[in-house]
Structures are given as C-alpha cells and as structure tokens.
Amino acid sequence: MSTARPTKLGEAPKYAIVIFVLFFAFYPLFVMFCISFKSNEQFQANPWFFDSPSEWHWENWAVAWGIVKNYIANSIVTAVISVAIGMVMVVLTSYVLARYRFRGRNIIYYGIIASMFLPGTAATLVTLFWLIRSMGLVNSLWAIIIVSSAGGQVAGIFILKQFIEDIPKELFESAQIDGATHLRQITTVVLPLSGSILATVAIMKFLGVWNNVMLPLVVLRDDEKLTIPVGLLRLEGEYVKQWGEMMAGYAIASIPLVIMFLFTMRWFVKGLAAGAIKG
C-alpha cells in the first residue's frame, strides 16, 4: 500500500479552483472601490482599475457619506431590534417544540416548516401593507421591525430545535432537581450550549433585515426614515448617474457588514458546523 504524499502538482487543480472562486468573489468589490474614487469621465475611460492617486476624487466619499449616514443609522436600529426580538421568539419556540409534549405539537412544527415554501414578501406585500396601514404604522420604522421580527424564523427554529433535542436530558433533569424553572433552564442550559448556533441565526437574520428592499420601499415615505437599501437608490439620480458617488455609497454601506462578519466569523463557522452535525 503506497503511503506517498500527494505532490504539489497533484494539488494544483484544488488551488486553481479556490483562486477562481476568490477572484470572482472579490473582483467586483475591487472594481467598486476603484470606481468610488473616479469622476464620470474617468469611469468612462477606465472603469476597471485605479487611476493615479493624485487623481482620486475623495469628495465622492464625503458626498456619499452625507447622504447615506442617516440611512445606515436607520438600518442599524431596525436590524438590531428585529434581531433581538426575533432571537427571543426563535429560542422560546424551539424550546417549547423540543421539550414540551402536547397534542398538536407535530402539526404546529410541520406547519412552521411548511411555511418555508410559501411565497416571500413580494407575494404577500398587499396583505402586509393592509395590515400595517390598519395598525397605523405606515411611514414608521416600527412597521419594518415588527414584520422583520415575526418573519424569517423558520430556519432558526428548525436548527435550534434539533440541537435542543440532542442536549442530554440529564442536564435538564439536574436543573429541575435544583428547582430551575423552564426559563431558568433556557438561560443556564440551552443558551450556553447553543451560542454558536444562535450567533449564526442572528447573523443571517441581521443580513436579511439589512438587505430588505421591498417592504421599506413601499411602507416608508419620509427621506429621513429610509433604510440603506432604499436610500442607496437615491444616489442613482433621475437623469445623470454619478458613478463615483454611487459606488462610494455602496462601499460605505458594506463596511458595517464587513466589520460584523470579521468579529463574528468564528461563531458563524462554528454554528454552521454544529447545525450540520446536529441537524
């Protein structure tokens, strides 16, 4: 039986595939940053690479920041509150479905799972808008928060429920002997063990709320209440597109997401691995 190690030449296709994927993942970002420092004339002449640093138009970033800073603040507020409320709903629902035994439990669970296959926001937009208007929340960030908090929880419930069911029952029994209530069991048993999974679900939820375009576009009216995806549309202009300012705005809008991912990447990877194993 041969024990020879694979040669570097034999591993070349693997590296080629990785380089190929990374190139197509990061080159659009590179082009975005290139264009963000250009005037329209420079963009028309050379849209693919940086010009000389002496010809960079830093004012594009200043103009873009002046436009999008309020939109970013609105998006952060709506995303953070929506994630906080949504995670409470995910944890409580998953715990009840995993630990309680009651009539109709499976029907409720499979009904939640089946909702994954229902049309998204675009298909239910009329119904959502009617509900929001009846609640008097048109042109309010709370409309986005309420809808975002209640929606998009299915994947998190599915993953976390499977994880809770795999937690040794002895841990819960020990907590019950010590007089712990169900809420206490959640905080002392479930949350410490499922931190990476919860982090992954929270990140995915944050990205979903942050990138939501359709609902804020329909519900919000005042410019100072717009979220970043809708606000970025204002950078395009009605007649003339300022490409440098547009790309600077998109670059600024991506910075909070990049920072969040850099600080949470470890938990995100652990959560994906744990969800795959437990699920």
User: What does the pLDDT look like over 7-60, one tens digit per residue?
Assistant: 566 677 777 888 888 888 888 888 888 888 887 777 777 767 776 666 788 888
- Class at the top of the CATH hierarchy for domain 69-278: mainly alpha
At residue 141 the predicted structure's pLDDT band, cuts being 50, 70 and 90, is very high
pLDDT at 279: 46
% of the chain surpassing 70 pLDDT: 85
* Highest-confidence segment of 76-90, 144-158, 242-256: 76-90
107-116 own/partner pairs: CB under 8 Å, 24+ apart: 109/161, 112/154, 112/157, 112/158, 113/154, 113/158, 115/154, 116/154, 116/155
For the cut 60, the answer to whether the pLDDT of residue 267 exceeds it is yes
pLDDT at 63: 86
Phi-psi map region of 126: left, alpha, beta (phi>0 left; psi -120 to 50 alpha): alpha
C-alpha–C-alpha distance, residues 84 and 152, integer Å:
13
- Burial letters for 216-254: b for 16+ Cβ neighbours within 10 Å, e otherwise? bebbbeeeebbbbbbbbeebeeeeeebbbbbbbbbbbbe
Residue ranges covered by each domain of the chain: 1-57, 69-278
Across residues 167-195, what is the average pLDDT?
A: 85
At residue 72 the predicted structure's pLDDT band, cuts being 50, 70 and 90, is very high
Over the chain, what is the mean pLDDT? 81
How crowded is the C-beta side of 192, counted as CA atoms within 13 Å?
6
Give tens-digit pLDDT for 215-245.
898 899 888 889 998 888 777 765 557 778 8
pLDDT at 8: 61
Across residues 249-261, what is the average pLDDT?
A: 85
Contacts of 90 (CB under 8 A, 6+ apart): 153, 156, 157, 160, 198, 201
C-alpha–C-alpha distance, residues 14 and 20, integer Å:
10
At residue 88 the predicted structure's pLDDT band, cuts being 50, 70 and 90, is very high
Give the 3-state secondary structure of residue 118: coil
How crowded is the C-beta side of 44, counted as CA atoms within 13 Å?
5
For the cut 80, the answer to whether the pLDDT of residue 276 exceeds it is no
For the cut 80, the answer to whether the pLDDT of residue 203 exceeds it is yes
